[in-house]
Chain A
Amino acid sequence: MGEFAENIERIALELLSNLVHGNATLSVPRNSSGNVISEYRRVSYNNRGSRHSFCVLIYMLSRVHRLQVRGGSFTVRGLYYDNPLLVRSQSRIAEARLDVCRMLSTSPLSLGILAASKGLVAGDLRLLMTNGDVLDSSLYGGPLTLPTDPEKIDRIETQAEFVLIVEKESVFESLLSRNVFGTFKRRFILITGKGYPDCCTRRIVHRLTEENQLAAYILVDADPFGVEIMLVYRHGSQSMSFSSQELTTPALRWIGLHPSEIPALGTGVVALVAGDNKKINDLLARHNLEPGVRQELRMLQDVQLKAEIESVIDFLTDDYIPNKINRNLFL
Chain B
Amino acid sequence: MERTTATPSPASTYCSFLCGSHHSPLRRSQRLIDKENRDVQKIPPKNLSPQLFGNTEDDYSELLLQQGKVVHLKPAAKLVHLRSSVNLVHLRSPKKVVPLQTSNRIVHLKPSDKIIHLKSLDEVEKTEKKKYNIQKGVHPRNSQRKNIQCTPKKRGRKPKQPAKKLQSRIPTDHLGNTPSPSKLPVKYPAHFVHQLPPAEDSSCAARRRSLSAPAMQLSDLCLTPDQIQTPERRGEIVNKSPSDLDSDVSMNISLSDSIGEIFGTKDISSILTMQRPRQYILLEEHLPTLATMLNVDLERLRCVLDITQGLTHEQILRFPIKHEEAEFEVS
Q: Known contacts A263-B171, A266-B167, A302-B137: does B184 contact A292 (CB below 8 Å)?
A: no
When chains A and B are docked, how far (Å) is the Cα of A265 from the Cα of B177? Answer: 12
The answer, among B172, B181, B184, B193, for a CB contact under 8 Å with A320, is B184
CB of A274 within 8 Å of the partner chain: no
* B183–A320 CB distance below 8 A: yes
| Interface 1/0 per residue, B169-194 and A, CB below 8 Å | 11110110100011111001101111
B192 touching A263 by the CB < 8 A rule? no
Instruction: Give chain A interface residues in 242-299, CB to chain B under 8 Å.
Output: 258, 260-261, 263-267, 291-292, 295-296, 299
A329 touches B188 (CB 8 A): yes
- CB distance A327 to B196 under 8 Å? yes
In the assembled complex, the CB of B5 is this many whole angstroms from the nearest CB of chain A, namely 25
Q: Of all chain B residues, which has the CB nearest A253?
A: B194
Instruction: Verify A266–B168 contact, CB threshold 8 A.
Output: yes
Task: Give complex CA distance A331, B191 in Å.
Answer: 8
Contacts of B139 in A (CB 8 A): 260, 263, 299
Report if A261-B194 is in contact (Cβ < 8 Å); known contacts: A299-B138, A327-B199.
Answer: no
> Of A264, A319, A323, which one neighbours B175 at CB under 8 angstroms?
A264
Q: Please determine whether A319 and B171 come into contact, CB atoms closer than 8 angstroms.
A: no
Smallest CB separation, A166 vs chain B (Å): 18
27 CB contacts below 8 A, A to B, read A263-B135, A263-B171, A264-B183, A264-B185, A266-B167, A266-B169, A266-B170, A267-B171, A291-B191, A292-B193, A295-B189, A302-B137, A303-B134, A303-B135, A315-B183, A320-B183, A323-B184, A326-B196, A327-B196, A327-B197, A328-B192, A328-B195, A329-B188, A329-B192, A329-B194, A330-B192, A331-B191
Q: CB of B198 within 8 A of chain A?
A: yes
Best-surrounded residue of A264, A324, A330 (most CB of chain B within 10 A): A264
Q: Which of B174, B195, B199 is in CB contact (< 8 Å) with A329?
A: B195
Residues of B within 8 Å of A, CB-based: how many? 32
Q: A266-B168, A327-B197 are in contact. Are A260 and B135 (CB under 8 A)?
A: no
B138 touches A263 (CB 8 A): yes
**Residues of chain B with a CB closer than 8 A to A299's CB:** 138-139
A291 to B193, CA, bound (A): 11
* A-B interface pairs (CB < 8 A), number: 84
Given contacts A303-B138, A323-B198, A330-B194, could you give 17 more A-B pairs where the C-beta distance is less than 8 Å? A260-B139, A260-B188, A263-B139, A263-B171, A264-B174, A264-B175, A264-B183, A303-B135, A319-B181, A327-B195, A327-B196, A327-B199, A328-B194, A328-B195, A328-B196, A329-B192, A329-B195
Residues of B contacting A292 in the complex (Cβ-Cβ under 8 angstroms): 191-193
Contact A267 B168 (CB under 8 A): yes
Contact of B131 with A by CB under 8 A: yes
Residues on A with beta carbons closer than 8 Å to the beta carbon of B198: 323, 327
Return the chain A residue nearest B197 by Cβ.
Answer: A327
**A264-B172 in contact (CB<8A):** yes
The answer on a CB contact under 8 Å between B184 and A324 is: yes
B residues 129-156 in Cβ contact with A at 8 Å = 131, 134-135, 137-139, 142
